[in-house]
């Protein structure tokens, strides 16, 4: 596990952390929304624009070749990071939301009335609404797999649904951005495959602190975002098994993704370029690859163990604050802990906590169905540490949350 000295050294890589907010040192604990970016990633973006920038895949000149090489090397870095069999399986998108929308639009072409698309009850809107809309367009049914009392996906209910034999696809988060539930993706993929159901994994929350080996887990599709793993915004990935991607037709058209274009008809490139029309965010992809190198330098296992430890500390500390309700108690929790305090608005808690220099999230966390229809708790606060947070910061945050809750109760 990362020790104090290692974490202090890591913090030096993140210039943004070294600042005061409202006269207090910044404590950034909203990493489930966006992680901070290490200096090497910022420098890589500047370096590319300063020395190598040109459009990719289009020209023979040297700068274009450098940019293209950077983009394709980035594809290889992503492939290696998630254990994919081939770079042909790595589609660059603008983020998880774009990846799942792309997949849902393509998958819709094969949905018919009588087919089912299932999502778990803990999905982020991005892993739910695109499928709900695909079903509405095609006449397929949209089904929700419930959670058990602890906030884990109810696998018995999932199997019962799968046994109907008409579930085309399951959309499921690897790690929940609200409950922190880490779902047993390998078991879920095995179960789904037994019934001929394809699995789309939303890995937005898990790529930093869980190891994702798509071959070992046997995922069919995986989506994630650069900005939740120390990369820049505006870049993400849709991984798909080659044979599945090959079976899908493009839904966005334009430059580069075509093979032959005639006035009468067009043919399309091979995967993955077929799904990357127009100028891709090649600088974002190159910077994402740098972020991956950085995470690997810190050590994926060390990050995972340390972040699990910090989340445990958050949970333990929140339990000691009177009147705090922690959402869920899943078998395995990672990344974040969400809570509410009876009679108090999360917006007020997070606003007063911010005045003490501590950034935590409040709101519906883009999971309205989970909060309104499962937990009856429309809005919550969320604390989500990353590997550059210290144990001292967690203690400070918890003390401030305690103090703010006490203060808000007193002023009524």
Q: Could you give the residue numbers annotated as active site?
A: 366
Strands 380-383 and 337-341: antiparallel
Nearest Cα to Cα of residue 370 among 128, 137, 136, 20: 128
The site string for ligand PLP over 32-61 (x = CB under 6 A, - otherwise) reads -x----------------------------
- Pairing of the two strands 380-383 and 361-363: antiparallel
Dist CA 262 CA 266 (whole Å): 6
Of 95 and 317, nearer to ligand PLP (C-beta) is: 95
Task: Judge contact between 379 and 346, C-beta under 8 A.
Answer: yes
Bridge partners of residue 27, in order along the sequence: 358
**Considering the complex, what minimum distance in angstroms separates the CB of residue 33 from ligand PLP?**
6
* Residue 173 binds ligand PLP, judged by CB under 6 A: yes
Q: Does 405 bind ligand PLP (CB under 6 A)?
A: no
Chain residues 348-367 in contact with ligand PLP, contact rule CB under 6 A: 366
Among 101, 127, 132, 338, which residue sits at the site for ligand PLP (rule: CB under 6 A)?
127
Stretch that binds ligand PLP, among 73-81, 121-129, 150-158, 266-274 (CB under 6 A): 121-129
Q: Which is nearer to ligand PLP, 2 or 90 (CB)?
A: 90
Interface residue with ligand PLP, options 48, 75, 79, 124 (CB under 6 A) = 124
CA torsion angle 193 196 201 207 (round to 10): 30
Spell out the residues 6+ positions from residue 323 whose beta carbon is closer than 8 angstroms to its own: 341, 342, 343, 405, 409
Q: How many CB atoms lie within 10 A of CB 90?
A: 24
Cα(250)–Cα(267) distance, integer angstroms:
11
What residues numbered 189-248 form the site for ligand PLP, per CB under 6 A?
202, 204-205, 225
95 binds ligand PLP (CB under 6 A): yes
Strands 358-359 and 27-28: parallel
Please give the full DSSP string across 108-126, using - where no structure is assigned. Answer: HTT--BTBEEEEETT--GG
Q: Which of 68, 97, 132, 304 binds ligand PLP (CB under 6 A)?
A: 97
Tell me how far, at minimum, the Cβ of 48 lies from ligand PLP, in Å.
22
> Shortest gap between Cβ of 361 and ligand PLP (angstroms)?
9
Q: Which residues bind ligand PLP (CB under 6 A)?
A: 33, 95-97, 124, 126-127, 173, 177, 202, 204-205, 225, 366
């Amino acid at each position: 596990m990362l020790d104090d000295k290692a974490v202090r050294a890591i913090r030096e890589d993140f210039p943004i952390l070294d600042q005061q907010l409202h006269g207090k040192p910044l404590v950034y604990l909203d990493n489930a929304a966006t992680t901070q970016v290490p200096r090497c990633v910022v420098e890589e973006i500047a370096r590319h624009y300063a020395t190598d920038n040109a459009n990719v895949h289009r020209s023979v000149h040297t700068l274009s070749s450098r940019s293209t090489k950077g983009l394709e090397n980035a594809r290889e870095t992503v492939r290696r990071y998630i254990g994919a069999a081939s770079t042909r399986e790595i589609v660059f998108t603008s983020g998880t939301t774009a990846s799942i929308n792309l997949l849902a639009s393509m998958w819709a072409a094969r949905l018919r009335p009588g087919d089912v698309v299932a999502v778990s009850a803990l999905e982020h809107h991005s892993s739910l609404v695109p499928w709900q809309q695909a079903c509405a367009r095609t006449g397929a049914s949209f089904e929700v797999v419930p959670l058990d009392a602890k906030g884990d996906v109810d696998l018995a209910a999932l199997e019962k649904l799968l046994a109907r034999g008409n579930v085309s696809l399951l959309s499921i988060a690897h790690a929940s951005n609200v409950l922190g539930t880490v779902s047993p993706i390998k078991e879920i993929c095995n179960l789904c495959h037994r019934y001929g159901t394809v699995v789309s994994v939303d890995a937005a929350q898990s790529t930093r602190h869980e190891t994702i080996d798509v071959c070992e887990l046997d995922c069919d599709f995986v989506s994630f975002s650069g900005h939740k793993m120390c990369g820049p915004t505006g870049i993400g990935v849709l991984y798909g098994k080659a044979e599945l991607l090959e079976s899908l037709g493009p839904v966005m058209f334009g430059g580069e993704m075509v093979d032959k274009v005639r006035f009468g008809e067009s043919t399309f490139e091979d995967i993955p370029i077929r799904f990357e029309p127009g100028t891709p965010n090649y600088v974002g992809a190159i910077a994402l690859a740098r972020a991956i190198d950085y995470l690997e330098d810190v050590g994926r296992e060390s990050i995972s163990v340390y972040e699990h430890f910090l989340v445990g500390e958050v949970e333990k500390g929140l339990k000691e604050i009177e009147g705090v309700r922690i959402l869920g108690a899943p078998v395995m929790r990672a990344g974040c802990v969400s809570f509410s305090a009876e009679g108090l608005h999360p917006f007020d808690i997070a606003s007063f906590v911010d005045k003490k220099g501590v950034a935590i999230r409040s709101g519906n966390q883009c999971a309205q169905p989970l909060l309104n229809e499962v937990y009856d708790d429309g809005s919550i606060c969320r604390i989500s540490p990353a590997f550059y947070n210290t144990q001292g910061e967690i203690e400070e945050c918890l003390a401030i949350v305690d103090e703010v809750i006490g203060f808000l109760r007193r002023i009524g």
